[in-house]
Amino acid sequence: MSNATELIHSIPTDPLTGAISVPIYQTSTFVQEAPGVNKGYDYARTGNPTRFALETLIAKLECGHTGAAFSSGLAAIDAVLKLLKSGDEIVAVDDIYGGAFRLFTHVYEKFGIRVNYVDATDPINIFNALTPATRLIWIETPTNPTLKISDIKTIAAIAKAQSCWLCVDNTFASPALQKPILLGADIVVHSATKYLGGHSDLIAGLVVTKEKELGEKIKFIQNASGAILSAFDSWLVIRGIETLPLRIEKHCSNAQAVATFLQEHPAVDKVYYPGLSTHPNHDIAKKQASGFGGIVSFSLKEDTEDTAIAFVTATQYFKLAESLGGIKSLLCHPATMTHKSIPAEKRKSAGVANSLVRLSVGLEDAGDLIKDIEQAFEKINYKIFLLKNQI
Ligand SMILES: *Cc1c(COP(=O)(O)O)cnc(C)c1O
């Protein structure tokens, strides 16, 4: 987003009352003067003014034509998949969000949609996986939890040459850092549960399309399938977006400080953060995004699940929980939490070590967060000592 002022003033004041905050239209239906004669709304699944304010706002932030708000990130992803038909194929990034993998493979494959998973950090892998049946290319950048970066512009050019759609899950970067549509993507999806909501207090999803025509298809699916976002949750997401640039700036600077600290720590093996010059995709991250985000992952030299579990239960400010993107710092252990259902060998080859820890760096003071990590390392040395000596 170029301008925080523009963002704040993209949120309309209420034309009816002048309310500075978008009113929550808590209603299921709208009175009509005669059949079909109304003020633009008839039934709240089809349209709700609070939801519409959010949909307009996200379309503007992502520089797209149409926005649509759903009851979860996965409901938003589901709506995009419903653009396809039996026999169509998807080429998707291999370390895709686990819930998207489950939906693609365990729900849509049985309707005759095939998914080909490839390492998208090299666009040639996507090109090589295309077939005449490919209708959709699906990437996430950065990915979860190893923060791999794919080149959106190059992949968009590949999608265009093949006449298929490119959809980017922009959850980790948010439109404050990265605008896939300006780089050529056709569709952007968000789990607004994360940075857009920003306060770990709701579940929501968004879709933005570049073109009007595709937007109409998504809106049709939204109304036909019905997984809409409620008026109250739409209001909460708007409220979250109001402070997005400010929050993201702090998430990024805190994460950079934490990643730099971890890189120097003797207990740490690898640190995964696109803002480190040692990150393999640092250059492309720098080129296509205006910052590197708030997620940092790292593995330990003592690469065991037990050591990682000792660490994630030893921090005080970093709370052990799934999810990310909120004001409070969170951490999780993918091998036994988010990535538990993936077989150990497959998990390891995807770079998710036994000891990998994912941090969602929040908005606390960076010095306090680093102290928290330091004291957790001290505590686990003690725990490992007790374990090894059977005390
Ligand atoms: C959380 C997440 C989702 C799913 O969103 P929900 O709101 O939990 O349904 C999709 N993609 C990414 C990258 C996520 O982090």
Could you tell me the two tokens for 7? 């963002």
Q: Active site residue: 25, 97, 195, 272, which one?
A: 97
Alpha helices in 195-300 (DSSP H): 212-225, 231-242, 244-264, 282-288
Q: Is 144 in the pocket of ligand 1 (CB under 6 A)?
A: yes
First to last CA, the chain: 55
Q: Is 73 in the pocket of ligand 1 (CB under 6 A)?
A: yes
Could you report the per-residue pLDDT of 213-223, keeping only the tens digit for each?
999 999 999 99
Distance CA 75, CA 55 (A): 15
Could you say which DSSP state residue 171 is in? T
Instruction: Looking at the CA of residue 143, tell me the nearest atom of ligand 1.
Output: 13
Burial class of residue 127 (count of CB atoms within 10 Å of its CB; 0-12, 13-18, 19+)? middle
Could you report the per-residue pLDDT of 236-248, keeping only the tens digit for each?
999 999 999 999 9
Q: Using alpha carbons, list the distances in angstroms from residue 232 to 49, 198, 236, 291, 377.
A: 11, 15, 6, 31, 42
Instruction: Looking at the CA of residue 76, tell me the nearest atom of ligand 1.
Output: 9
As a whole number, mean pLDDT of residues 264-279 equals 96
Contact 222, 68 (CB under 8 A): yes
The SS3 assignment for 189 reads: strand
Most informative mutation of 104, 188, 193, 322 for ligand 1 (most atoms within 8 A of CB)? 193
* Residue whose CA is at the smallest distance from ligand 1 atom 5: 73
* Residue whose CA is at the smallest distance from ligand 1 atom 2: 191
Instruction: Looking at the CA of residue 193, tell me the nearest atom of ligand 1.
Output: 7
Band (pLDDT 50/70/90 cuts) for residue 391 is low
287 alpha carbon, distance to own chain's centre: 19
As a whole number, mean pLDDT of residues 128-153 equals 97
Q: Is 140 in the pocket of ligand 1 (CB under 6 A)?
A: yes
Strands 357-360 and 330-332: antiparallel
Q: Is 74 in the pocket of ligand 1 (CB under 6 A)?
A: yes
Could you say which DSSP state residue 25 is in? -
**Does the CA dihedral 346-357-287-11 come out positive or negative?**
positive
What pLDDT does residue 95 have?
87
Q: Is 203 in the pocket of ligand 1 (CB under 6 A)?
A: yes
Q: Is 97 in the pocket of ligand 1 (CB under 6 A)?
A: yes
Could you report the per-residue pLDDT of 318-372, keeping only the tens digit for each?
999 999 999 999 999 999 998 887 778 878 887 899 999 999 999 999 999 999 9
The CA 345 to ligand 1 mean position distance, Å, reads: 24
Q: Is the pTM of this model over 0.75?
A: yes
- In the chain, what are the domains? 3-242 (3.40.640.10), 244-389 (3.90.1150.10)
Distance CA 50, CA 219 (A): 16
**Closest CA relative to residue 155, chosen from 115, 120, 182, 118:** 120
Alpha helices in the chain (DSSP H): 4-9, 49-61, 73-81, 98-102, 123-129, 152-162, 212-225, 231-242, 244-264, 282-288, 305-312, 344-349, 366-388
Residue 2 pLDDT > 60: no
* Residue whose CA is at the smallest distance from ligand 1 atom 8: 73
Sheet containing strand 295-300, edge to edge, reads 268-272, 295-300, 357-360, 330-332, 319-320
Q: Is 191 in the pocket of ligand 1 (CB under 6 A)?
A: yes
